Amino acid sequence: MRQIRLYDTTLRDGAQSEDVSFTLDDKLRITERLDELGIHYVEGGWPGSNPRDEEFFRAARQLRLRQARIAAFGATRRAGIRAADDRNLDALLRAETPVVTIVGKTWDLHVRDDLRIPLAENLEVIGDSVTFLRTRVDEVIFDAEHFFDGFARNPDYTLACIAAAARAGATLVCLCDTRGGSLSGQVGNAVDAAQSAIPDTALGIHCHNDAELAVANSLEALERGCVQVQGTMNGLGERCGNANLVSLIPTLQLKRGWSCVTPEQLAGLADAARLVYELANLEPSKRQPYVGQSAFAHKGGLHVAAVQKNAETYEHIDPALVGNLQRVLVSDLSGRGNLLAKAAQFGVDLQGDPAALQRLLRELKDLESQGYAFEGADASFELLMRKALDGDRPRFFRLIGFRVIDEKRHEDEVPIAEATIMLEGPDGTVEHTAAQGNGPVNALDCALRKALGKLYPEIQDVRLHDYKVRVLGGAEGTEAVVRVLIESGDEHERWSTVGVSHNVIEASWQALVDSMDYKLHKHRRGR
Ligand SMILES: [Zn+2]
């Protein structure tokens, strides 16, 4: 089976994304996870350009990696000096990695206007730099910067550049679509030309996503004979990002039948993608192919009915292969099939209770017409389902009343929010507490938890993870209806709840109550 070598540059190119910054610890954790995932090369950073990267290479030497080889990234020597005198090349050697990747100019426009040296001198710069490294490190990868743009304008010169790297002994020449604007046909033709120019040197591909073709262009280059693909986790990277390895790996493996990682490693793909989002402090993209929450989510009634019979009808792969899950969404588009499937996910058999199913459908349509949405609020939906089945939803306390005060006493002072709450437990105990918060909803949440915590100690480990307010169209200004979505969690799971009202505090209250009721209900059932 044909083997494709995976080269990850999340820690270098990926770290150049807007809003992304990895700590040393993050970088080490990502490296270990990429190794577990089966990535062959992990580019750790640019030791000449920043001290944090130098630290990384020192620390990475202590990691016990299965197969990933760490690569240090840098550029060819500066013009006018010897390679041995170049401080950046020296920094690359001091990183003590088995692999060094150096980027060099291969577009005549850059040589003339950026480097401002004669075209022939750039060939010497490339050759020298590779020769210098070749005897000192195991593998030298030459990244041919702007290869495709250069090839389009002055093919002879661009090919002469990669020939200089190959002659000097580069282990692999990686063809880069640095501006990310090439089309797949162009990429294919240029790869063919590179192969004819340097038939004895292995080729790699490094694409950027400025025309949203990074994955397609990488695939095309591999079809034409490249053996290594460079990319990043979740497509992080400068501007619009790099080729997304999370999309490429399953495509190459499941669709092309090429071998990249083991099936067990592939099943950890969604998890690895999530870890990188988390460490990058980015919200995972719902619609991300293969691993996104929506990638195998079905909403239309027809679709749901069909996937229940045979998932292949609307799923291009089995989601379990990449560690994802099929989801059935509940919404006003949903028919009985969705509801039955959704209920089954919660371990509830609605099939045997047509009257309950009817009640649930009616209630759902009614609530949705008021602005509720249950697609992102599984826990509220489960409570609703319980109500349809059992005649009432699980209840653990009764509200006697609450009051929220938001007070700003001086122009330059931050407002103070305070909530008092009175509620009654199942045995008639009345709890009356107050709490402050950094806003009215936070204060209400704290007060509710404080009061409930006395009745139910298991409430202590519930955390509020996310709070979203959406103003629903239709009415104008303050008349509008708001929908609040809350994500809560304990150490075992996360759940989401919803509330709707003209009043944002009331909407938040509903979502908070659902969250607490869900937790207590779950606890009582031993989940
Ligand atoms: Zn790049």
Overall average pLDDT of the 328-352 stretch: 76
Q: What is the pLDDT of residue 341?
A: 79
Instruction: Return all residues near 443 (Cβ < 8 A) that are at least 6 apart.
Output: 404, 417, 418, 419, 435, 436, 437
**Residue 145: other Cβ atoms inside 10 A:** 23
Per-residue pLDDT band for 225 (boundaries 50, 70, 90) equals very high
Q: What is the pLDDT of residue 122?
A: 98
Do residues 108 and 154 lie in contact, with contact meaning Cβ atoms separated by under 8 Å? yes
Q: What is the pLDDT of residue 477?
A: 53
Query: Nearest CA to 297 among 250, 263, 334, 261?
Result: 334
Cα(397) to centroid(ligand 1), Å: 57
- Per-position DSSP letters for 382-440, written without gaps between them: HHHHHHHHHSS-----EEEEEEEEEE--STTSPPEEEEEEEEE-TTS-EEEEEEEESSH
Cα(116) to centroid(ligand 1), Å: 22
Q: What is the pLDDT of residue 241?
A: 97
Instruction: Give backbone dihedrals phi and psi of 201, rounded to 5 degrees, phi first.
Output: -110, 135
Query: Nearest CA to 223 among 205, 235, 211, 207?
Result: 205
What percent of the chain shows pLDDT beyond 70? 98
Q: What is the pLDDT of residue 334?
A: 62
For residue 376, pLDDT over 80 is answered with: no
Cα(11) to centroid(ligand 1), Å: 12
Cα(145) to centroid(ligand 1), Å: 8
Cα(103) to centroid(ligand 1), Å: 10
474 φψ region: left (φ > 0), alpha (ψ -120 to 50), beta (else): left
Cα(264) to centroid(ligand 1), Å: 29
Please tell me whether residue 458 adopts helix, strand or coil conformation.
helix
Cα(361) to centroid(ligand 1), Å: 51
Most confident of 194-208, 322-336, 487-501: 194-208
> Which has more pLDDT, 527 or 262?
262
| Arithmetic mean of pLDDT over the chain | 92
Cα(460) to centroid(ligand 1), Å: 47
Cα(283) to centroid(ligand 1), Å: 23
Cα(295) to centroid(ligand 1), Å: 27
pTM metric for this prediction: 0.77
Q: Please write down the HEC assignment for all residues of 240-257.
A: CCECEHHHHHHHHHHHCC
Cα(184) to centroid(ligand 1), Å: 17
Nearest-angstrom CA–CA distance, 163 and 174: 12
Overall average pLDDT of the 475-484 stretch: 72
pLDDT digits (tens, 9 = 90+) for 437-471: 999 999 999 999 999 999 999 998 898 888 888 88
Overall average pLDDT of the 163-184 stretch: 98
Query: Nearest CA to 88 among 46, 116, 122, 123?
Result: 46
Cα(287) to centroid(ligand 1), Å: 24
Please tell me whether residue 311 adopts helix, strand or coil conformation.
helix
Instruction: Give backbone dihedrals phi and psi of 263, rounded to 5 degrees, phi first.
Output: -55, -35
Query: Nearest CA to 486 among 455, 507, 458, 459?
Result: 507
Tokens of 363: 């209630």
Cα(316) to centroid(ligand 1), Å: 30
For residue 476, pLDDT over 60 is answered with: no
What percent of the chain shows pLDDT beyond 90? 72
Cα(153) to centroid(ligand 1), Å: 20
In this structure, which amino acid lies at residue 210? D
